[in-house]
Amino acid sequence: METVGLAEVAAVLAEPSRAAMCLALLDGRAWTVGELAKAAGVRPSTASEHVARLRETGFVSGAKQGRHNYVRIADPRVADLIEHLAQHAEHRPARGLKESLRVQRLAFARTCYDHLAGTLGVAIRDGMVRTGIVDVAAGLTLTGHGREVLVDLGVAVPSHGRRPLLRDCLDWTERRDHFGGALPAALLEHAVGAGWLRREPRRAVRLLAAEPFRGLGVAPDSLVQSGVA
């Protein structure tokens, strides 16, 4: 991304179909070109051209599995860029009941690339800090107690790598930080696999089981929202 000028980045996302594809990819999954075509409402041939443009500018990377070619966001920094730009589009008033409910669901819990955002994401950060799972004084450090809590919940703590275990990520609906990084990504993956959460269309996430999140120190009032959970 460093070699791409600001004007070129803006031009990539200024095209509505490419922007729609990038928003779809923010759910953290790998998509086929055909799936992205449907999400953007364009023909597969047109989608292929857009994907090629996104790949050229470093927005996406590709992977092949069997007969299928998959596309996903290339880097967490790209996801951060798209997420923060998306906030400006979401700040307009909702139009109609259906859109209003969608906005409420996104505000309560949604994917921010590969980790959890929204009211629930911020509440998890607050709970983990308050109960001593994470030490902010030591620069967002997972404590020994925190490691034990996560192991008891079945969450595999990632080993040290190039990606930070924890980092603060500004939540555009809450205007406060939630956690990003390798550990929150592992937590989201486990929560979905264990049936605590369910991914829904357009990045929304539905809460199915509150008890595990209480184990992370999440306040009970952060685990309920009318019409959502």
pLDDT band at 228 (very low <50, low <70, confident <90, very high): very low
Give yes or no for residue 1 having a pLDDT over 70.
no
What SS3 state is found at 216?
Answer: coil
Q: How does pLDDT run across 81-133, given as a tens digit for each residue? A: 887 776 655 544 444 434 445 667 788 999 888 899 999 999 999 999 999 99
Tokens for 137? 């004084």
Determine the residue type at 53.
Answer: R
Strands 134-135 and 141-142, sheet pairing:
antiparallel
The counts of H helices and E strands in the chain are: 10, 11
Strands 110-112 and 115-117, sheet pairing:
antiparallel
Domains in the chain (CATH in brackets) are: 6-79 (1.10.10.10), 95-223 (no CATH)
Q: Pick the residue with more confidence: 80 or 197?
A: 197
Q: How does pLDDT run across 142-181, given as a tens digit for each residue? A: 999 999 999 999 999 998 778 899 999 888 778 889 999 9
Tokens for 4? 């791409």
Q: Could you tell me the pTM of the whole model? A: 0.72
Q: Is 62 in contact with 69 (CB distance < 8 Å)?
A: yes
CA atoms within 13 A on the CB side of 140: 16
DSSP 74: S
Q: How does pLDDT run across 136-152, given as a tens digit for each residue? A: 998 899 999 999 999 99
Tokens for 195? 């049936």
**Nearest one of 98, 117, 115 to 107, comparing CA atoms:** 117
Q: How does pLDDT run across 14-51, given as a tens digit for each residue? A: 898 998 898 888 877 788 999 999 989 999 999 999 99
Distances in Å between the Cα of 63 and the Cα atoms of 30, 31, 32, 43, 70 are 8, 10, 10, 21, 5
